Amino acid sequence: MLNTETPSPRHPDLDSYPTGQLVQAFVDDQLDALRAVQAAAPALARAVEAALPRLQAGGRLIYVGAGTSGRLGLLDGVELTPTFSWPPERACALIAGGPGALMKAVEGAEDNASQGAADLQQLQPRAQDVVIGLAASGATPYVLGALQAARAAGCLTIGMANNPGAPVCTQAEIGVVLDSGPEIISGSTRLKAGTAQKIALNTFSSSLMVKLHKVHGNLMVDLQATNAKLRRRALALTQRASGAAPEAAELALAQAGGQVKLAILMLRRQLTAPAAKTLLERHAGHLRAALDAA
Q: Is 79 a catalytic residue?
A: yes
Q: How far apart are CA 17 and CA 93, in angstroms?
A: 39
Q: Is 110 a catalytic residue?
A: yes
Which of the residues 5, 49, 79, 107 is marked catalytic? 79
E strands, the chain, in order:
61-65, 91-95, 130-135, 156-161, 174-177
**The 174-177 sheet, strands edge to edge:** 91-95, 61-65, 130-135, 156-161, 174-177
Helix 246-255 / helix 228-242 crossing angle, nearest 10 deg: 110
Burial of 233 from C-beta contacts in 10 A (0-12 / 13-18 / 19+): middle
Which of the residues 5, 107, 110, 183 is marked catalytic? 110
Q: How far apart are CA 93 and CA 102, in angstroms?
A: 11
Per the DSSP assignment, residues forming a β-bridge with 174 are 158
For the annotated catalytic residues, the residue numbers are: 79, 110
